[in-house]
Amino acid sequence: MTPTSATAPTERTAGGRGSPDRAVRVPHASLVAFAAEVFERRGVPPRRARTAGEALVYGDLSGMRSHGLANLTRLYLPLLDDGRALPDAEPEVLADRGAALLLDAHKALGLWAASEALDLAAERAADYGTGLVSVRNATHFGCAGHHTRRLAERNLIGILASNCGRQRIARPPGGRAAMLGTNPMSIAAPAGPGLPPFVLDMSTTAVPTGKVREAARAGRSIPEGWLQDERGRPVTDPGALDRGEGFPLWLGGRPETGAYKGYGLALLVEVLAALVPGAGLGPAEEAHTGHGGPTGRDDDIGFLALAVAPGALRPVDGFLQDAAGLFQALVDCPPLDANAPVSYPGAREAELSAGALAHGVGITPELYAEIRSVAAALGIDAPEGEPS
């Protein structure tokens, strides 16, 4: 039994995933071409602009709208316009030890630089079984799962983890000052023939900040457990995040329910993704002063790109057969509710992607209007869409 289909994507809005209630459906290829052309107009080389466009649109394609095209004007174009990301940056290898490399991204747009780093890691994994690319001076790379999934489709295991540079928005358990970012991480692996790849894509906080901001744009409240105020009380107003009045909770919620696990994972990411390459670090003495609210910017981000090649260590056919047994056993697990079958991370996104590829990517009318406005300002054609 396969947990995917090519049917039209199910409408689902909770937490920013799924298709919007009122959707304009636009062909995936048209959205990618549009995004790529916008990046080219900002000076990104064509091949890398295409890679960046695919990474950006993946958020909308797979139902993770908080990391999709909404960030074109809110995040990536401002980064380029302000010089915090450089369109023509050329990453530089600072140290090469065969299976491990240190890379300076030189403020390259993370949407393409993360994929290139994982591709380089994959090249080394073919020779050594594993390949590690440690990156500093990087910028935001969008959905981590997009980049790692590309390796899983090549029968490799991909791992990508990033800190948030010197941006601090989350407090350590029991602390009064924001010290860390959301520090996302992803791992993707083949699930065997006939099954979509396993793709875990997560922040180490309860939710990424993009979900909170997506709720704010939509005028929705957020559930308790996403944000807390300066005294540790639940916050349901998503606007509190950008006002500096709401702090993200860690995975696990409060200390008594396991917050130290999410906090510990965030520190793991900070060590591997930023301390190792010498990137900007969140925790710093300067954060102890002031009112304890958010400080710093997400500049000089560090990330870890790791590829593992099972085929370099054992016959790849045997690995894939065992993977199929592992994930099929999960899918076949008897469910508590017959209408909610057991699945695994990556399967739902694969189902939504298949539907969007067949029937068009669903975006809100507001986002579609924004896309048309960007196209008009640049004098390029806007992608054609149809109401669903």
% of the chain residues with pLDDT over 70:
95
0.75 cut: is pTM over it? Answer: yes
pLDDT tens, residue by residue, 162-200: 999 999 999 999 999 999 999 999 999 999 999 999 999
Instruction: Compute and round to an integer the Cα radius of gyration of the chain.
Output: 20
For the segment 47-70, the average pLDDT, to the nearest whole number, is 96
For residue 239, is pLDDT > 80?
yes
For residue 226, is pLDDT > 50?
yes
The residues, any chain, with a CB within 8 Å of residue 257's CB and separated by 6 or more, are: none
For the segment 10-20, the average pLDDT, to the nearest whole number, is 41
Cβ neighbours around 102 below 10 Å, total: 18
What pLDDT was estimated at residue 1?
Answer: 37
What pLDDT was estimated at residue 293?
Answer: 85
pLDDT tens, residue by residue, 62-88: 999 999 999 999 999 999 999 999 999
Bridge partners (DSSP) of residue 267 are none
- Strand duo 227-228 + 247-248: pairing: antiparallel
What pLDDT was estimated at residue 291?
Answer: 79
The sign one gets for the Cα dihedral 237, 240, 245, 250 is positive
For residue 18, is pLDDT > 80?
no
Mean pLDDT (the chain, rounded) = 93
Angle at 264 between CA 151 and CA 299, to 5 degrees: 65
What pLDDT was estimated at residue 193?
Answer: 95
What pLDDT was estimated at residue 388?
Answer: 79
pLDDT tens, residue by residue, 207-216: 998 899 889 9
